[in-house]
Amino acid sequence: MGAAVDIKLKIKRKDSSDSPFYWEEFNVPFRKNMNVISALMEIQKNPVNAKGENVRSVAWEYNCLEEVCGACSMRINGKVRQACSTLVDRLEQPIQLEPMETFPVEKDLVVNRDRMFSALKKIKGWIPIDGTYALGAGPLISSDVQQEAYKYSTCMTCGCCLDACPNVNSGSPFIGPQALGQTKYFNMHPTGAQQKNDRLSVMIGEEGLANCGNSQNCVQVCPKEIPLTTAIAELNKDANKFALWGWLKR
Amino acid sequence: MQTNTVAPLSTSRRFVLTRLHSLAGLIPLGLFLIQHLMGNALAILGSEKYDEHIQFMLNLPFLLLLEIGFIAIPLLFHAICGIYLSFISKPNAHVYKYRRNISFLLQRVTGVITFIFVIYHVWSLRISPVISGNEVNHQVVGEHLANPFMMIFYMAGVLSTTYHFTNGISTALITWGLTIGPSSQKAVRNLCFGLFIILTVLGLGSLISFVS
């Protein structure tokens, strides 16, 4: 083994939610198969910046380390992705890490993703199975439908689609692609379909489909490769019909 | 239990406006654009054919009503709605250089260019001649386009209009839920690109024919 190669990291930091952003550079020793998380862990072990000053270690979120929890989303060299599945030797240096600024930034790379959970509440992102009496078994679901639904079930609420969407921003009421994908997911379930109209009401509302501008970044950046734009186009069809029929029936 | 609640139907104004925005771009404006480009292409066949067509158009019954109801109102609505939508988006095509995302940015840029062009064009070759009582014919248009700067402005205007229209068709088919999956969306995108080339050649060819 020769001398350790350093990798350069340039991180956009923030001490608290109401303090300003600043950039800080770090050099960490390279290890084979290192991902962005393990590079950040090196900073945690030895929080010294590139100038040799002792600093507060960098805050970020992570859980699963295998791209299923969605916690470690951040902008890596400008593009949003999961830090766990991003290998450092495939990146241009200095590796630039930024928080997903579409969300309120709490501290360094940690963001508050509450808006996605409240979006799930708005669209009733669940299957109603509780009643005051036994409701019995639900309808069977064909394996085709199961296969299609499975893709949407893998959504990990990571927020990449919202961060890459040009129409999700502070000036727009857009609920975001994640909630649209989940609307399609729960609407296609035979029991979930009982609340289809409630969900479509959100879709034709102020925060809904009207805000989609077809940039289709969501489907490109989704780490789980969820066909979000297919969901949006299908919802367009359902929502247009729902709005028009609703008006004609009134 | 949640299941039995009846959803109150409240279609938001935003939803209705964006659907009407899409419809206005497709039906009155899109149809008129094709008609207009075809009509102008008669200039390629000679000034008599072109002047004949102008006379035919000017002699249409209820012309003012058609111009206001079929063109002016949908155009202003489409433009104002579109400009509002452009300004609440934050384009990021410099980071995410995907083909659709670049089209998203171009759709907004060409929309604004087209609007500026159309205002000037309608003023100089429709409203102003009516006010001053001057006739519009092949010769007048030819003189109008003789200035090279004007020619470049018109070429840019035609190019941005045809792009905005053809790219708009492909996204409208998504807005109306017809092209759902990525393959059908791609097929329509390619067809629309073909239409873009045809309309652009037609438009630029007509422009050049006025001065050659």
* Residues within 8 A of A (CB atoms), B 48-87 only: 85
Digit-by-digit pLDDT tens for chain A (250 residues) are 445 689 999 999 999 999 999 999 999 999 999 999 999 999 999 999 999 999 999 999 999 999 999 999 999 999 999 999 999 999 999 999 999 999 999 999 999 999 999 999 999 999 988 888 888 888 999 999 999 999 999 999 999 999 999 999 999 999 999 999 999 999 999 999 999 999 999 999 999 999 999 999 999 999 999 999 999 999 999 999 999 999 999 8
Residue B5 reports pLDDT greater than 60:
no
Helices B148-175 and B182-211 pack at an angle, to 10 degrees, of: 160
Cβ pair B88:A169 closer than 8 A: yes
pLDDT on residue A151: 98
pLDDT on residue A130: 82
pLDDT on residue A3: 55
Cβ pair A171:B88 closer than 8 A: yes
Cα distance between residue A217 and residue A165, in whole Å: 6
Q: What are the structure tokens assigned to A149, written together?
A: 């639904």
Chain length of chain A: 250
What percentage of chain B's residues is helix, strand, coil (to nearest 5)? 80, 0, 20
Cα distance between residue B145 and residue B120, in whole Å: 13
β-pairing, A105-107 with A73-76? Answer: unpaired
Q: Does any domain span residue B28?
A: yes
Cα distance between residue A158 and residue A149, in whole Å: 18
Cβ pair B96:A220 closer than 8 A: yes
Q: Does any domain span residue B148?
A: yes
Q: What is the ipTM of this complex?
A: 0.93
Question: Which CATH number covers residue B64?
Answer: 1.20.1300.10
* From B2, B5, B89, residue closest to A213, measured CB to CB: B89
Mind listing the pLDDT tens digit for each residue in B54-102?
999 999 999 999 999 999 999 999 999 999 999 999 999 999 999 999 9
Cα distance between residue A218 and residue B83, in whole Å: 23
Cβ pair B181:A247 closer than 8 A: no
pLDDT mean across residues, chain B = 94
Domain span holding position B143? 14-211
Q: Does any domain span residue B6?
A: no
Cα distance between residue B155 and residue B139, in whole Å: 19
DSSP assignments along B96-107, one per residue:
S--HHHHHHHHH
Residue A144 near residue A194, CB atoms below 8 Å = no
Phi, psi dihedral angles at A206 (to 5 degrees) = -55, -40
pLDDT on residue B212: 83
Percentage of chain B modeled with pLDDT above 70: 96
Q: Which of A123, A214, A221 to mutate to test the interface with B (most CBs of B within 10 A)?
A: A214
CATH 3.10.20.30 correct for A6-111: yes
Q: Does residue B28 have a cis bond before it (omega within 30 degrees)?
A: no
Residue A159 near residue A102, CB atoms below 8 Å = yes
β-pairing, A73-76 with A79-82? Answer: antiparallel
Question: What would the mean pLDDT of B119-131 be, rounded to a whole number?
Answer: 95
Cβ pair A169:B12 closer than 8 A: no
Burial B26-51 (b: 16+ CB within 10 A, else e): bebbbebbeeebebbbbbeeebeebb
The amino acid present at A234, given as its one-letter code, is: E
What percentage of chain A's residues is helix, strand, coil (to nearest 5)? 35, 15, 50
Cβ pair A124:B178 closer than 8 A: no
**Cβ of B11 under 8 Å from any chain A Cβ?**
yes
Residue B9 reports pLDDT greater than 80:
no
Q: Does any domain span residue B4?
A: no
Residue B4 reports pLDDT greater than 70:
no
Q: How far is B35 from chain A (nearest CA, A)?
A: 28
Residue B172 reports pLDDT greater than 80:
yes
pLDDT on residue A5: 82
CATH 1.10.1060.10 correct for A114-249: yes
The amino acid present at B3, given as its one-letter code, is: T
pTM for the model stands at: 0.94
Residue A128 near residue A108, CB atoms below 8 Å = no
Q: Does residue B8 have a cis bond before it (omega within 30 degrees)?
A: no
Cβ pair B95:A79 closer than 8 A: yes
Angle at the Cα of A213 (from B33 to B192), degrees rounded to 5? 40
Alpha-carbon distance values, A41 to A11, A84, B131, B133 (Å): 14, 11, 74, 78
- Contact residues for B11 (Cβ-Cβ < 8 A; gap 6+): A204, A205, A243, A246, A247
Phi, psi dihedral angles at A173 (to 5 degrees) = -80, 5
pLDDT on residue B1: 44
Domain residues of chain A, as ranges? 6-111, 114-249
pLDDT on residue B165: 98
- Structural domain count of chain B: 1
**Cβ of B187 under 8 Å from any chain A Cβ?**
no
